Amino acid sequence: MSIRQERVASLFQREVAGILSSEFSDQLHPMVTVTGVRVTADLSIAYVYVSVMGDSESQKNGLLVKLKDLNPRIRKSLGRALRHQVKSIPELRFFLDRTLEEAHHMDKLFGQIREERDIRINGSEDENEGDRAP
């Protein structure tokens, strides 16, 4: 991403997060977090990644549908907030950010690997001690 894209993405992330928390908090889950925004090279599309804490998969997908329904209103609010900073407001596309879930899954896998390694190391030490008996 170019420096301009990164700046615009950061600006959109801050503004969309603020809009969701202030103007649409009554219509959305209270634990919605905008975790990142990516914009295309021509700044016509913004991919907005959101995270929802502690809900089932169906509730997360329901939230995503709700965000897509609110998309025109969110975009209009974004336009009011940024009218002097960008020429045009991009199309917003919302996606669930699964980074935390994937990181938790990886931690569990690493924990299992550590446990298996410890069992192997301790198991081989026990066998070696049995061989040394007088």
Same domain, 118 and 129: yes
Indicate the number of domains in the chain: 2
The CATH number of whichever domain residue 11 belongs to comes to 3.30.300.20
- Percent of the chain residues past pLDDT 90, beyond the cut: 43
Same domain, 108 and 80: no
The SS3 of residue 100 is helix
The tokens of 55 are what?
């809900």
Same domain, 18 and 36: yes
- Containing domain of residue 34, as a range? 3-97
39-56 pLDDT, tens digit each: 999 999 999 999 887 667
Same domain, 90 and 54: yes
Same domain, 43 and 88: yes
Same domain, 85 and 118: no
Long-range contacts of 67-75 (CB under 8 A, 24+ apart): 67/28, 67/94, 68/94, 70/24, 70/27, 70/28, 73/24, 74/16, 74/19, 74/20, 74/24
103-114 pLDDT, tens digit each: 878 888 899 999
